[in-house]
C-alpha cells in the first residue's frame, strides 16, 4: 500500500447555503463553494492546478475551472459510485499532490438534487440499460425494487433478523443526528430536533424504514482544498493532516443490491476501507475522538460501527444505546447533524465537518479532538479518511 500518511492536508473548506431550492445552477453552486474554500485557505484560483469531483457531478472540471478563473490544469479526476466517492476525491487529490502531479487540488460536489434531479425517485429504466449495472438492476427493478430506500430496506430487514435489531435502534440514530443538527445554524433542520416517538410515528417509506430513517434531498455544494502538509503550515488556517485514506469494494459487490453474498447482514466494502485506514495510520478505533459516518439511511450507521471495529457484529444497537453516539457519548458521530440533519451533499459536508473538528471550530465541538474518521457512501464501493491535528 502506498502510504500518504502525513504528506498532505486539507487546508480550505467552502460550502453554499444548503436549501430545498437554491435558485442557482449546479455550476453556480460549485463555483461559490470553490471560491469559499480558496478564501478559507487564503489561496487564489491561479494557485490551483488540479480538480477532482464525482462521476455523477453535472459539472465538468474544465467548466468549473473557467467559471472560477483557474488556469492550466495538470491533474483532474472523477471518482465513481455516487456517495462512495466522497472520501475518494480527497484520496485522489492527495495522491496527485504526494506524487507531484499537482501542487494544489480542489475537490467539489454540487447538487440541484431537490429542485432538479431527485435521486430518490423510482426509475424503471435502470433495469434496461445496456451496461453491467443495467444487467444487475434487471434482476429486481422490473419487480418494483427500484429506489435507494427499497434497496436499503432489504438489507435492514436481514440485519434485524440476524442481530435482533429493531426500528427503535435505527430511530436512535435519527434522534441523535437531529439533535446535533438542531444546534447547527447551517443545518436544514436547525432548531428542529425529534423524539424517538416522533421517529416511530413517521410514515413508512419502505418497511422497515420510516420517513425519519431516510436522509433529506438538498440543493447545495461543498469544496475542499488539498495541498502538501509542508505548504499547508504557511497558509491561513491550521491544516487537517491526511493520516490515512482508502477505497474499498467487497467480494460480490453490486450497486446497493449485493443480495447474493453468503452474508448480506454486513458491509464488507467498509471493512476493506477500515482495514486500509488502520494499516496506513497505525491507529485503531480507540484512537478516534469522533467519527463522521455516512448516514443516508440509519441502518447503515449501525453496520459501519461494526465493520470499522468500534464494536462487534450485532453490538451496534447496544453501542448507541443511552446516547453513545451523541456529542458527550463514547464516540460522537456526525456532530454537524449528518445527512439526516444538516444536508445531503453526497457526504462532502461531512468531510468539511471533520476539518472543523480538527481545527476546533465546529459549532458542536467535541472536546480534545486529535483524530477523526470519515466514511463515504455505504452499500456501494466506498472510501474513507482519517484526518488529524498537525
Query: In this predicted structure, what is the pLDDT of residue 123?
Result: 66
Q: How many domains does the chain have?
A: 1
- How far apart, in whole angstroms, are the C-alpha atoms of residue 99 and residue 136? 36
294 given a catalytic annotation: yes
Whether residue 311 is contained in a domain is answered as yes
344 given a catalytic annotation: yes
- How far apart, in whole angstroms, are the C-alpha atoms of residue 286 and residue 275? 14
Query: In this predicted structure, what is the pLDDT of residue 1?
Result: 45
pLDDT in tens, the chain (390 residues): 456 788 999 999 999 999 888 889 999 999 999 999 999 999 999 999 999 999 999 999 999 999 999 999 999 999 999 999 999 999 999 999 999 999 999 999 999 876 655 555 656 666 667 888 788 888 888 888 888 999 999 999 999 999 999 999 999 999 999 999 999 999 999 999 999 999 999 999 999 999 999 999 899 999 999 999 999 999 999 999 999 999 999 998 988 888 888 888 899 999 999 999 999 999 999 999 999 999 999 999 999 999 999 999 999 999 999 999 999 999 999 999 999 999 999 999 999 999 999 999 999 999 999 999 999 999 999 999 999 999
Task: Kindly compute the dihedral angle of the four CA atoms of residues 169, 174, 175, 179, in this order, to the nearest 10 degrees.
Answer: 150
Query: In this predicted structure, what is the pLDDT of residue 347?
Result: 97
Whether residue 42 is contained in a domain is answered as yes
Residue 100 CB coordination number (10 Å): 10
Out of 81, 108, 163, 294, which one is annotated catalytic?
294
Q: DSSP alpha helices (H): ranges in the chain?
A: 26-41, 61-68, 86-99, 132-137, 148-163, 167-182, 196-201, 229-232, 268-281, 298-307, 316-320, 338-341, 348-359
C-alpha grid cell, residue 89:
476525491
Give the residue numbers spanning the domain of 49.
Answer: 8-116+216-388
Whether residue 209 is contained in a domain is answered as no
Is there a contact between 298 and 196 (Cβ–Cβ < 8 Å)? Answer: no
Closest CA to 208 of 254, 256, 171, 255: 171
C-alpha grid cell, residue 300:
447503515
H-run or E-run covering 363: none
pTM score, two decimals? 0.95
Whether residue 193 is contained in a domain is answered as no
Whether residue 145 is contained in a domain is answered as no
Query: In this predicted structure, what is the pLDDT of residue 90?
Result: 98
CATH number at residue 240: 3.40.47.10
Whether residue 87 is contained in a domain is answered as yes
| CA 154 to chain CA mean position, Å | 22
Whether residue 174 is contained in a domain is answered as no
Out of 54, 81, 108, 344, which one is annotated catalytic?
344
- How far apart, in whole angstroms, are the C-alpha atoms of residue 318 and residue 267? 19
Whether residue 36 is contained in a domain is answered as yes
DSSP-derived letter for residue 85 is G
All residues at 6 or more sequence positions from 24 whose CB lies less than 8 Å from its CB, including other chains: 16, 32, 219
Query: In this predicted structure, what is the pLDDT of residue 98?
Result: 95
- How far apart, in whole angstroms, are the C-alpha atoms of residue 179 and residue 194? 7
Amino acid at each position: 500500500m502506498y502510504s500518504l500518511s502525513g504528506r498532505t492536508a486539507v487546508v480550505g473548506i467552502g460550502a453554499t447555503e444548503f436549501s430545498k431550492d437554491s435558485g442557482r445552477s449546479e455550476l453556480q453552486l460549485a463555483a461559490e463553494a470553490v471560491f469559499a474554500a480558496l478564501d478559507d485557505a487564503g489561496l487564489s484560483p491561479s494557485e490551483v492546478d488540479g480538480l477532482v469531483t464525482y462521476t455523477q457531478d453535472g459539472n465538468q472540471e474544465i467548466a468549473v475551472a473557467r467559471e472560477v478563473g483557474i488556469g492550466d490544469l495538470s491533474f483532474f479526476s472523477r471518482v465513481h459510485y455516487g456517495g462512495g466517492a466522497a472520501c475518494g476525491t480527497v484520496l485522489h487529490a492527495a495522491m496527485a499532490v504526494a506524487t507531484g502531479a499537482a501542487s494544489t487540488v480542489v475537490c467539489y460536489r454540487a447538487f440541484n438534487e431537490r429542485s432538479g434531479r431527485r435521486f430518490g425517485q423510482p426509475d424503471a429504466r435502470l433495469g434496461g440499460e445496456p451496461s453491467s449495472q443495467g444487467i444487475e438492476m434487471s434482476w429486481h427493478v422490473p419487480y418494483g425494487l427500484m429506489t435507494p430506500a427499497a434497496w436499503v430496506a432489504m438489507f435492514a430487514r436481514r440485519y434485524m433478523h440476524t442481530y435482533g435489531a429493531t426500528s427503535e435502534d435505527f430511530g436512535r440514530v435519527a434522534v441523535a443526528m437531529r439533535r446535533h443538527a438542531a444546534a447547527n445554524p447551517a443545518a436544514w433542520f436547525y432548531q428542529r430536533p425529534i423524539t424517538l416517538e416522533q421517529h416511530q410515528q413517521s410514515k413508512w417509506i419502505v418497511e422497515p424504514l420510516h420517513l425519519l430513517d431516510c436522509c433529506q434531498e438538498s440543493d447545495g455544494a461543498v469544496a475542499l482544498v488539498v495541498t502538501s502538509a509542508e505548504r499547508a503550515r504557511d497558509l491561513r488556517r491550521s491544516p487537517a493532516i491526511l493520516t490515512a485514506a482508502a477505497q474499498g469494494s467487497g467480494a460480490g459487490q453490486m450497486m446497493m443490491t449485493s443480495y447474493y453474498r453468503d452474508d448480506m447482514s454486513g458491509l464488507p466494502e467498509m471493512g476493506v476501507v477500515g482495514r486500509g485506514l488502520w494499516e496506513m495510520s497505525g491507529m485503531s478505533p480507540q484512537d478516534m475522538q469522533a467519527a463522521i459516518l455516512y448516514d443516508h439511511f440509519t441502518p447503515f450507521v449501525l453496520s459501519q460501527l461494526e465493520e470499522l471495529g468500534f464494536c462487534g457484529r450485532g453490538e451496534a444497537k447496544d453501542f448507541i444505546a443511552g446516547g453513545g453516539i451523541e456529542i458527550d457519548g463514547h464516540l460522537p458521530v456526525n456532530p454537524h447533524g449528518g445527512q439526516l440533519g444538516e444536508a445531503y451533499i453526497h457526504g462532502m459536508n461531512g468531510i468539511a465537518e471533520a476539518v472543523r473538528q480538527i481545527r476546533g471550530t465546529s459549532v458542536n465541538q467535541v472536546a480534545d479532538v486529535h483524530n477523526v474518521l470519515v466514511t463515504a457512501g455505504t452499500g456501494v464501493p466506498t472510501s474513507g479518511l482519517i484526518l488529524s491535528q498537525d
